Chain A
Amino acid sequence: MKNEQKLAGPIIRSSFTIMILAGLIYPLVSTGIAQAIMPDQADGSLLYNEQGEVVGSELIGQNFTDPMYFHGRESAIEYDASGSGSNNYAPSNQDMITRTEESIAAWSEENPATPVDQLPIDLVTDSASGLDPHISVEGAAAQVERVSELTEISRERLKELIEENTQGKEWGLFGEERVNVLMLNLDLQELIQE
């Protein structure tokens, strides 16, 4: 074999070839396949109401401030899903400790019937994405007292609702047991409207 090859041509031409192959053909072909066989997921697992309007995505958390509804986790971006992010507070950051203390105080005020030692840590800490759709099962249970009082729906009914919206660990092992707050509140909304 000859040991000679000009470099300029192959460098320029292979760069453009890979750019078109990897940057255009690959994503367009996979988008086509994905849209054809699983359009729901490919569009973002959107949820619609009876009028066919988008009310959210099953995977994206929403901001709940009304005490009648179950609340999600702290979000530095108030669940603005046009972006994503959180505060990146170090464990030693005084702002984080102050914010958590304030959250606990606000929570106690809103949930006077539930002692603080039943408040799980996920409810008063920032998620990584600022869009976490889930809370722990304990986090949902800790809010039953408040929601029941304000909506006049029985505690037992709310506990059933939580159970229906609890997702177990994947394959019984991976990840954590959790409650999807938006799905839970959509069910709750139906009960309230009845």
Chain B
Amino acid sequence: MITTILSIFITLAVMVLIAKPSGIYLAKAFDYKKTGLDKVFGPLENLLFKLSGIKKVNQSWKQYALALILTNGFMIILVFAVFRLQGVLPLNPSGNPGMEPTLAFNTAISFMTNTNLQHYSGESGLSYLGQMIGILFMMFAAPGTALAVAIAFVRGLSGREIGNFFVDLFRAITRVLMPVALVTGLIFVALGVPQTLEPSITAETIEGTAQEIARGPVGTFLSIKELGNNGGGFFGVNSAHPFENPNAISNFIQILLMFLLPAALPFTYGKMVGNFKQGRVLFVSMLMVFIVFLSTALFYEYQGNPALNALGIDTEQGSMEGKEVRFGTGQSIFYALVTTATETGAVNTMHDTLTPIGGMLALSNMLLNTVFGGVGAGFINVMMYAMIAVFLSGLMVGRTPEFLGKKIEGREMKLIAITMLMQPLLILGASAAALYTPLGTAAISNSGFHGVSQVVYEYTSSAANNGSGFEGLGDATPYWNITTGIVMYIGRFFGLITMLAVAGSLASKKLVPETVGTFRTDTPLFGVILVGTFFIVGALTFFPTLVLGPVAEYLTL
């Protein structure tokens, strides 16, 4: 127990130490002025720009948004076709068939929106080609898109030109995602993760039966899965599979990779607006919420499941149902909280089996969607909450709210308000519909209050573009494929576009000179107000639902 807490503390300390330098690197990587990085990446990028017919010209926010929507839309169509046709395409040693249409629809959207909700199982649902030019392709394109938008958003806030979508997308891949993924992918292989294009192998076991062992090019897949906050597993059980997470060191690196970009972006923002304190306040506020959630979840998970504790066996290890021995209770619930905070969606334990309160905190991370959040999209969401906090404070003291020297007025607040309302509308609306129709309720595998949690978790995970699930839910049906597909799509693109509009609108405003009466957004006080806003807006919206699901289950266990 003590060593586990120490190991978690060390992991978080390393995360905090690398956040700021990574943030500064990101600011530099996306700087359109000449930097030293051009020498390293310039030749490759120029080749890629030439191949893609890209000119380095600035776009308006509308052009930027249009390029983003259409490019992602085209990629969805492309990958949909790959999934449908994989049965007749090459690199299919296990002979997996093409995907059923609603499943291909769901999966293509799922990976383009950085959600990685998986209604298929990797071993039998995808060919190696499907895993590569379908899934891997999008695992770069989706976080690349989000990173690009986040940078464009900050450029707008800091009064600069928005930039060029294609240039940003390629730079995200060549300067950030691919180098890190390549190196960490090979480290994962050194730790025992397979990296082969050979088909599965059959072993003759000690007891004389045959055991077929699935494998594949997992290492490269794993690194971008975590780094890009994608989360989709090569294998059905994701990072709980011993090949996808062989020991606690690979687990440690995965957690750091999940944190890397979401933790760096506040500092990128600080650097780009020329005031590090702005970024630090955001970072510390999110870290505090994370630590409170994590400590609570650890406490309840170590208590174990009262129903099993009553059976007279040795339950010192905590609640081990759905967990792996090499991670134990500590590293399992830690991973669960990190994957939901960073909207990655990779799992090393089955979230359905978490104790009610542990599961509720994982769910709450996604409902708030502001405890770090996924690469790019999460940061933009946090900035939206920062503006709401400024607006609320402005109302309380009776001044026009200002953010980074720009007045926040009716137009911005309207965009923010509909974006803020969209998330509960998607989650609660879709959950209510699913709980009302037999098409939805038929999927529930754990009856009673936990069934409510299963449904709400699925749609929350979709709307927040997380991708983990209470996987007992029998969600591989057309109803679930289509509804979650729609929720993922709107959950992703609606907020990105509206917030780009906010940034575009703020960029065109005149700077208001700072006075003694200006409400500062780089102080601890602002951090407190920000966290308060997370909870007032987020918790009040979803509290009744949490009472019906996890809280009721906890009280009746």
Is B40's beta carbon under 8 Å from chain A?
Answer: no
Q: A96-B321, A134-B325, A182-B206 are in contact. Are A129 and B241 (CB under 8 A)?
A: yes
A-B contact count (CB 8 A): 386
Q: How far is the CB of A144 from chain B (nearest CB, A)?
A: 15
Contact with A along B110-127 (1 / 0, CB 8 A): 000000000001011000
Q: How many positions in chain B have a CB within 8 Å of any CB in the partner chain?
A: 133
Which A residues are CB-close (under 8 A) to B326?
A: 132, 134, 175-176, 178
Q: Which residues of B lie under 8 Å from residue A194 when comparing CB positions?
A: none
Stretch from B189-197, B274-282, B498-506 forming part of the interface with A: B189-197
How would residues 221 to 251 of chain B score, 1 for a CB under 8 Å from any chain A CB and 0 otherwise?
A: 1001000000000011100111100111101
- Which residues 104-132 of A have a CB within 8 angstroms of B? 104, 116-122, 124-132
For B203, list chain A residues within 8 Å (CB): 46-47, 54-57
Report Cα–Cα, A87/B206, bound state, in Å: 26
A61, A62, A69, A90: the one within 8 Å of B446 (CB): A90
Q: Is B54 an interface residue (CB 8 A)?
A: yes
B-chain residues with CB within 8 Å of residue A124 when the two chains form the complex: 313
A55 near B192 with CB under 8 A, answer no
Q: Does A191 sit within 8 A of B, measured CB to CB?
A: no
Shortest Cβ gap from A3 to chain B (Å):
7
Q: How far is the CA of A119 from the CA of B311 in the complex (A)?
A: 11
Q: Assess A5 versus B57: contact at CB under 8 Å? Given A27-B132, A138-B314.
A: yes
Please tell me if A146 contacts chain B, counting CB pairs below 8 Å. Answer: no
Task: Among A21, A33, A82, A119, point to the contact of B123 (Cβ < 8 A).
Answer: A82
Question: Which partner residue on chain A sits nearest B321 by CB separation?
Answer: A125
Count how many chain A residues have C-beta atoms less than 8 Å from C-beta atoms of the other chain. 108
Among B60, B123, B136, B220, which residue has its beta carbon within 8 angstroms of that of A3?
Answer: B60
**Are A92 and B324 touching (Cβ within 8 A)?**
no
Chain A residue at minimal CB-CB distance from B312: A116
User: Quick check: A175 and B350 within 8 Å, CB to CB?
Assistant: no
User: Which A residues form the contact surface with B (CB < 8 A)?
Assistant: 1-5, 7, 9-24, 26-27, 29-31, 33-35, 38, 41-47, 53-66, 69, 73, 79-93, 96-97, 100-101, 104, 116-122, 124-136, 138, 169-176, 178, 182, 185-186, 189
27 A-B pairs in the complex with CB atoms less than 8 angstroms apart: A7-B70, A12-B74, A22-B137, A23-B134, A34-B189, A34-B195, A38-B189, A41-B194, A44-B194, A45-B194, A59-B192, A59-B242, A63-B205, A65-B207, A84-B241, A89-B321, A92-B450, A101-B311, A121-B317, A125-B320, A127-B325, A128-B350, A129-B237, A129-B242, A136-B325, A174-B251, A175-B7
19 additional contacts, CB 8 Å, given A15-B74, A132-B326? Answer: A4-B57, A10-B53, A13-B53, A14-B169, A14-B170, A18-B173, A30-B195, A41-B193, A54-B203, A59-B192, A73-B325, A82-B213, A82-B214, A84-B236, A89-B322, A116-B312, A121-B319, A173-B4, A175-B326
